[in-house]
Chain A
Amino acid sequence: MSARIFSGSNHPLIAYLMAGYPTLNRSLEAAEIVFKAGADALELGVPFSDPLADGPLIQKASTVALRQNVSLRLVLDMAGRLSGSGKPIFIMSYLNPILRMGYAEFAAQASRSGVSGVIIPDLPVELAAEWVRTAWANRLGTVFLATPSTSTPRLKKIAQNSTAFVYLVSVYGVTGVRDELPGYTYEFIRRAKSVVNRPLALGFGVSNPRTVSHALKAGVDGVIVGSLLISKLMDQESSWVEVLANLESTVHALKQATSTTVPTEEGK
């Protein structure tokens, strides 16, 4: 299912939401709105006590979700309830909650919930053989991250093990909202494009239509937007109805940018 979003001329917008933020029900509503606004897939974050690759926004969302005892099991239930949308759902979880459940049980449950793939930011590809086998046996896609510091030989290894797509981390840094991305991000995208024969999705700091457009032109196949959406959900001034309307227009504008950008020859 996950390969489909990258097919043809479609450039998927993958929306990240933290399951359980601001509450489990509201994160479900937000996910439905995000799909309605045109997101092609959902990356559903599992709250963790020690999210060391995340900036303050996602840390805060994680803390709020944990206060409500949102566990990996509950997140998989939520994914199951969203699977009727027909759109791919990726689980993004730090390793320890998955280990606690056990690879086999987690993969089986995720598969039953209609999950397309799993992203584990603290599982490097060298230590992932067992996970990759288990995911494969349960028809779950694997996604590994590559960063501007990743050497080209590693990039190839990461691509070989990523059956769904390769997650390109745009910057040296943690997740967060960024006005624009540095020049080295685009060099990295071009380098990845030249050696990776898998779909590429760019995340971390993709926070406006202009960046989306630049990233696609540089050669990524899709984009992942997270902290920006979380920041919309954190708006304390507005009613929940207004927050959702705001979320919808934000996602809509980002999706517009993915569908109007024509990749240049340079990026191909």
Chain B
Amino acid sequence: MAKKKVGWFGDFGGQFAPETLMEALSALEAEYSKIRRDTTFRRELNYYLRSYAGRPTPLYYAKNLSDIVGGARIYLKREDLLHGGAHKINNALGQALLAKRMGKTRVIAETGAGQHGVATAMAAAVLGLHAEVYMGSEDMERQRLNVFRMRLLGATVHPVDAGSRTLKDAINEAMRDWIANVSNTHYLVGSVVGPHPYPTIVRDFQSVIGREIMVQFKKSVGGLPDYIVACVGGGSNAAGSFQAFVDEKKVKLVGVQAAGQGLASGKHAAPLLAGSVGVMHGMRTYLLQDDNGQIQLTHSVAAGLDYSAVGPEHSYFKQTGRVEYVGVTDEEAVKAFETLSRSEGIIPALESSHALAYAIKLAATLPHDTTIVVTLSGRGDKDVESVAKFRGSML
């Protein structure tokens, strides 16, 4: 496949977008490369990240959990403590400020679990933009609380009834909106997915997670952690956690995908483990697709991981071997959700519970002087009803 270097991660990424969006993507790329080095922009973003969103987030040694597991020491990067309850606000604030710079008055977003929708609604409210959010109707059902929050924050939520009625369909619909309204609208993509420059922009805005981990770990523990573990749906919290450590070859990086009811069941959302390379949503990446190139439906108990593709940089990290990708089932994730709630008094998001479940398994096989940092990408209040249902009880 022909490719230019810019906008590619090895063989992955690119800009496979409808023609209507090509000029808008170029304009976005140009504006982004300007603000990347602009100290005024960085100062403004840092102000909002600190004073509004609550950065830096703590790096917490989960001693009780580590003791129960009885192996490596587990540290939690507490992105769940951010305003809105997830790491999504890092990117939403960055892109909303960028949208304002570009003179856009309207932002649109897709959302799966609703966390990115909430973050976008918050950023739009505080920065004086109009927000509209596309959400699969199945996700609206299982994340009702977040739908209500978005509406309270002044955003319009559009249900998407097409296809699997989850994240991928919400992205399609947001793209269609953008095609029609590209002159006044910024598409505030919520993960490291989509056509170039989105995977780079979102990763950069999330890379604050990894930079803080590095500084905090050095200060409180010393040196570098042995492992960093993060969940991967689209892959933004993982990309943000890994970025600062990619060149630190001694630090092992692990991305955890949703194995749903098991990879063998076919009911999962793990393109990096059971998918093949193709093109969707503007990028060449690993996908779950059938023999005819149709995109397959996914399953995960965590709406935020329920996606049939993955950010192209993760496909590249898989190919180069820099990151190890593993799977965690619904059952294992829910168990980790319960374990952390009881041992540490922290209710993690079901998405983050996937990372946690793997870290718990991993820690048990390692000595006590080994350290694992888990990015707790969000809090789990939104998931209480889903977990109750999973366990066969109603609230």
Answer yes or no: A122 CB below 8 A from chain B CBs: yes
Within 8 A of A (CB), among B155-176: 162-163, 168-169, 171-172, 175-176
Number of chain B residues close to chain A: CB under 8 A: 39
Check if B294 sits within 8 Å of A97, measured CB to CB.
yes
Closest CB pairs A-B (n = 7)? A100-B293, A97-B293, A129-B2, A173-B180, A71-B292, A96-B293, A49-B295
How many whole Å from A226's CB to the nearest CB in chain B? 15
Check if A172 sits within 8 Å of B179, measured CB to CB.
yes
Answer yes or no: A202 CB below 8 A from chain B CBs: no
Contact with A along B1-29 (1 / 0, CB 8 A): 11110000000001111111011100000
The verdict on A169 contacting B180 (CB below 8 Å), with A50-B163, A127-B3, A130-B1 known, is no
Check if A122 sits within 8 Å of B279, measured CB to CB.
yes
Answer yes or no: B341 CB below 8 A from chain A CBs: no
Check if B2 sits within 8 Å of A172, measured CB to CB.
no
Contact with B along A44-75 (1 / 0, CB 8 A): 00001111110100010001001000011100
17 A-B pairs in the complex with CB atoms less than 8 angstroms apart: A49-B163, A49-B294, A49-B295, A50-B168, A52-B172, A71-B292, A96-B289, A96-B293, A100-B278, A100-B289, A122-B18, A122-B279, A127-B1, A145-B19, A149-B23, A150-B23, A174-B180
Closest to B23 in A: A149
Check if B1 sits within 8 Å of A147, measured CB to CB.
no
Check if B18 sits within 8 Å of A127, measured CB to CB.
no
- For the complex, give the distance between the alpha carbons of A150 and B22 in Å: 8
Task: Find B23's partner among A48, A49, A55, A151 (CB 8 Å cutoff).
Answer: A151
Contact with B along A76-119 (1 / 0, CB 8 A): 00000000000000000001111111000000000000000000
The verdict on A96 contacting B180 (CB below 8 Å), with A129-B2, A147-B19 known, is no
Closest to A129 in B: B2
Closest to A71 in B: B292
How many whole Å from B163's CB to the nearest CB in chain A? 7
Answer yes or no: A200 CB below 8 A from chain B CBs: no
**Interface contacts beyond A51-B172, A122-B18: sample of 13 additional A-B pairs, CB < 8 Å, sorted by A:** A48-B294, A55-B176, A95-B279, A96-B294, A97-B293, A98-B293, A128-B2, A129-B2, A130-B1, A150-B23, A151-B23, A169-B19, A169-B20
How many whole Å from B162's CB to the nearest CB in chain A? 6
- For the complex, give the distance between the alpha carbons of A95 and B16 in Å: 9
User: Which residues on B sit within 8 Å (CB–CB) of A122?
Assistant: 16-18, 279, 282
Answer yes or no: B229 CB below 8 A from chain A CBs: no
Answer yes or no: B182 CB below 8 A from chain A CBs: yes
The verdict on A144 contacting B20 (CB below 8 Å), with A127-B2, A130-B2, A172-B181 known, is no
Answer yes or no: B365 CB below 8 A from chain A CBs: no
Closest to A93 in B: B293
A→B interface (CB under 8 Å) = 48-53, 55, 59, 63, 66, 71-73, 95-101, 121-124, 126-130, 144-147, 149-151, 154, 158, 169, 172-174
Check if B23 sits within 8 Å of A72, measured CB to CB.
no
- For the complex, give the distance between the alpha carbons of A113 and B265 in Å: 38
- For the complex, give the distance between the alpha carbons of A146 and B23 in Å: 11
- For the complex, give the distance between the alpha carbons of A77 and B163 in Å: 26
User: Which residues on B sit within 8 Å (CB–CB) of A98?
Assistant: 293
Check if B18 sits within 8 Å of A66, measured CB to CB.
no
- For the complex, give the distance between the alpha carbons of A128 and B4 in Å: 11
Task: Find B15's partner among A51, A124, A169 (CB 8 Å cutoff).
Answer: A124
Check if A124 sits within 8 Å of B179, measured CB to CB.
no
Closest to B278 in A: A96
- For the complex, give the distance between the alpha carbons of A96 and B16 in Å: 10
How many whole Å from B307's CB to the nearest CB in chain A? 12
Answer yes or no: B92 CB below 8 A from chain A CBs: no
Contact with A along B88-111 (1 / 0, CB 8 A): 000000000000000000000000
Task: Find A96's partner among B1, B20, B295 (CB 8 Å cutoff).
Answer: B295
Answer yes or no: B183 CB below 8 A from chain A CBs: yes
- For the complex, give the distance between the alpha carbons of A95 and B171 in Å: 17
User: Which residues on B sit within 8 Å (CB–CB) of A96?
Assistant: 278-280, 287, 289, 293-295
Check if A154 sits within 8 Å of B2, measured CB to CB.
no
Contact with A along B292-328 (1 / 0, CB 8 A): 1111000000000000000000000000000000000
User: Which residues on B sit within 8 Å (CB–CB) of A100?
Assistant: 278, 289, 291-293
The verdict on A53 contacting B294 (CB below 8 Å), with A96-B279, A96-B289, A99-B279 known, is no
- For the complex, give the distance between the alpha carbons of A172 and B282 in Å: 18
